[in-house]
């Protein structure tokens, strides 16, 4: 049986995708260290590359002690679910405001409430601070979303480090809060990091050597900030790296990644192990596309957006009654 990671339709889109990446990659700052920068200077530099774009419709509130940005469904509709969205930034940078406008559009498109936490970041707050914050918000939603927002149904997702946190939160809900995972309709895992022991692609051994906004040096830096003093093997503990966890019983999931992404192997490993454990797994691989591929407008990213919206509609399943 021939294993194909994308269709003939996507194959025909590759030249346009390469041109879009070449034209747009300069928007992103490299993750390699500038000579002579201290750790703290480099952290400040990385944080400056992820500016906030606040949307006026966002509501600020604290949930389980964590600052969150929330977007409510239209007043005349009962929300179909709450989407717990976890932002990216390598566990050292980023904020919920980075995804304000996509989160607002998701609310409008699918009639969901979006909750996006500002979890704590390394190096000031290394593991497990960020996962603890994300889980605390998820646990609160399991217990209070029905009373607060009018629905007890959840979808969990995120991009890059947020995809990692989404997977970790789902595993914690399964293992710590009996029956809670039954309320989670799906996991939207977008180019996440699932092996903090550094997969081959994280180390630079990618199947495609096209441009990327990540680098082995940048990944090693944020890993050392987030998990200081641990060996690669220690970083692969299942409670840290979801790729090494028991993946049975997870809800339907959509995993997305580009072939130039230094996190490609993380998605392929997690998707294959989750499918082998009997999971409902959809995999979208974008050839020639880097990390944060959805920032590069082309036919492939348009197709991905269509797949994402179709997946949301599938897991939401119409009116929940």
Question: What is the set of active-site residues?
Answer: 160, 261, 291
Indicate the burial class of 1 (C-beta count within 10 angstroms; 0-12, 13-18, 19 or more).
exposed
| Distance from C-alpha of 104 to C-alpha of 100, rounded to nearest angstrom | 6
| Run of H or E including 222 | helix 216-226
Q: What are phi and psi of 113, to 5 degrees?
A: -85, 135
| Cα atoms in the 13 Å half-sphere on the side-chain side of 286 | 33
28-65 in b/e burial notation, b at 16+ Cβ within 10 A? Answer: beebebeeeeeeeebbeebeeebeeeeeeebeeeebbe
- 186 DSSP β-pair partners: 155
Closest C-alpha to 158, from 84, 212, 214: 84
| Distance from C-alpha of 117 to C-alpha of 188, rounded to nearest angstrom | 16
| Distance from C-alpha of 225 to C-alpha of 239, rounded to nearest angstrom | 18
Q: Please tell me whether residue 83 adopts helix, strand or coil conformation.
A: strand
Cβ-contact 213, 31 below 8 angstroms? yes
154-159, strands of its sheet edge to edge: 59-63, 66-71, 113-117, 82-86, 154-159, 184-190, 253-258, 281-286
Give how far Cα 54 sits from Cα of 51, 61, 254, Å: 10, 14, 27
Token reading at 320: 């929940």
């Amino acid at each position: 049986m021939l294993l194909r990671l994308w269709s003939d339709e996507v194959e025909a889109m590759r030249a346009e995708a390469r041109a879009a990446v070449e034209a747009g990659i300069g928007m992103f700052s490299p993750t390699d260290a500038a000579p002579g920068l201290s750790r703290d200077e480099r952290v400040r530099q990385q944080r400056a590359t992820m500016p906030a774009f606040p949307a006026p419709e966002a509501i600020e509130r604290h949930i389980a002690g964590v600052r969150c940005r929330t977007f409510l469904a239209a007043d005349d509709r009962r929300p179909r679910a709450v989407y717990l969205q976890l932002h990216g930034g390598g566990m050292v940078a980023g904020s919920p405001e980075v995804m304000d406008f996509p989160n607002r559009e998701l609310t409008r498109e699918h009639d969901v409430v979006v909750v996006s936490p500002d979890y704590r970041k390394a190096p000031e707050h290394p593991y497990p601070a960020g996962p603890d914050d994300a889980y605390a918000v998820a646990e609160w939603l399991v217990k209070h979303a029905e009373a607060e927002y009018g629905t007890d149904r959840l979808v969990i997702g995120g991009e890059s480090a947020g995809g990692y946190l989404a997977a970790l939160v789902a595993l914690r809900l399964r293992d710590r809060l009996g029956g809670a995972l039954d309320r989670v309709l799906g996991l939207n895992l977008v180019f996440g990091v699932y092996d903090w022991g550094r997969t081959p692609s994280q180390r630079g051994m990618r199947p495609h050597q096209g441009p990327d906004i990540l680098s082995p040096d940048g990944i090693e830096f944020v890993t050392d900030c987030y998990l200081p003093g641990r060996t690669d093997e220690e970083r692969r503990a299942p409670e840290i790296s979801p790729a090494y966890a028991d993946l049975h019983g997870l809800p339907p999931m959509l995993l997305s990644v580009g072939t130039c992404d230094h996190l490609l192997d993380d998605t392929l490993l997690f998707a294959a192990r989750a499918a082998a454990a009997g999971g409902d797994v959809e995999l979208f691989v974008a050839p020639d596309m880097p990390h944060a591929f959805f920032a590069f407008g082309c036919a492939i990213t348009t197709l991905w957006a269509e797949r994402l919206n179709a997946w949301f509609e599938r897991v939401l399943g119409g009116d929940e009654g």
